[in-house]
Amino acid sequence: MEPDFAYHAQRMQLLFDTLKWMVYAQQIGVSLADLANRLELNEWEVQHLFQEYLAKDPIHFVKDVFSPALAHALPPSQLSIFDFPPDDKLENETTFIDVDFQLLDKDPSTIYFAIFPHFLGEVLIAASDQGICQITFQDSENGLLRLKKSYRTATLQEESTDLMIMTYLALMDCFSNKETHPVIPVAVKATPFQLAVWSELVEVQKGKLSTYGELAQKLGDPNASRAVGTAVGANPIAVLIPCHRVVHQSGKIGHFRWGTWRKQLLLAIER
């Protein structure tokens, strides 16, 4: 049974409008009172709204959004045997949400799709019987048009499946401090190289960053940065395949299919 999203949809739209305004208008020094006035809520309600969806204090979040070091990918620290982290710490580290990849060799017969509310903008989630095949932000890309271009022979049916709802709820929970998340089956059409890049992306831990050069080195070809960038940009599964965690070596946030401003917010949420 599909959850009732009416209550959350209104609150998430309010938060989305405010976050987008904050980044576009460069509200670096915005205060809690300013946010309360913008949202037409009292300050306690603003605190609750940010904690509910971002798991963040609003003012600390603003500082993270505009931090000069937001997109600085730090090199991995060199640990000796004397400061290697204990086993329990390694077990608690998470790569975000587990994704089980399947490479499709032909179009599914039927693909189901639906649009869901989200505090970073409405998302179109699409799935076949094999798994999730697309998650896109509607304000930046016509998700249905992309589906038609990617899966030309599939029948597209507007309907929420159990897998889509589970994926949506995981998408909402992935920014929280939950220690466990469901494994999401992802079944996509892609080249072997694209799938290799996307498989590396899901290994980048929440709160960590990588660069195109680092990904290329992991794939065994240090000169493949440009090809890696093309594969990252072709990612059809927003957020769950975290291409937003790939930045330039220079510390620039870089391109994002669904808007650089949204990538800036994603990095700040995970910071």
pLDDT in tens, the chain (271 residues): 455 678 889 999 999 999 999 999 998 989 999 999 999 999 999 999 999 999 999 999 999 999 999 998 765 544 444 444 444 444 444 446 788 999 998 999 999 999 999 999 999 999 999 999 999 999 999 999 999 999 999 999 999 999 999 999 988 887 776 666 789 999 999 999 999 999 999 999 888 999 999 999 999 998 999 999 999 999 999 999 999 999 998 889 988 999 999 999 999 999 8
Domain residue ranges in the chain? 6-65, 87-257
Q: Known catalytic residue: 133?
A: no
Are the CB atoms for 250 and 112 separated by under 8 Å? no
70, amino acid identity: L
Give 162's contacts (C-beta < 8 A, 6+ positions apart): none
113 and 165 Cβ atoms separated by less than 8 Å? no
Task: Provide the terminal-to-terminal Cα distance of the chain, rounded to the nearest Å.
Answer: 34
Choose the catalytic residue: 243, 265, 266, 267.
243
Q: Write out the CATH class of domain 87-257.
A: mainly alpha
Whole-angstrom Cα distance, residue 256 to residue 265? 12
CA distance 1 to 174: 22
Structure tokens at 86: 């204990």
Count the neighbouring beta carbons within 10 Å of the beta carbon of residue 120: 24
Round to whole Å and give the CA distance between 211 and 270: 17
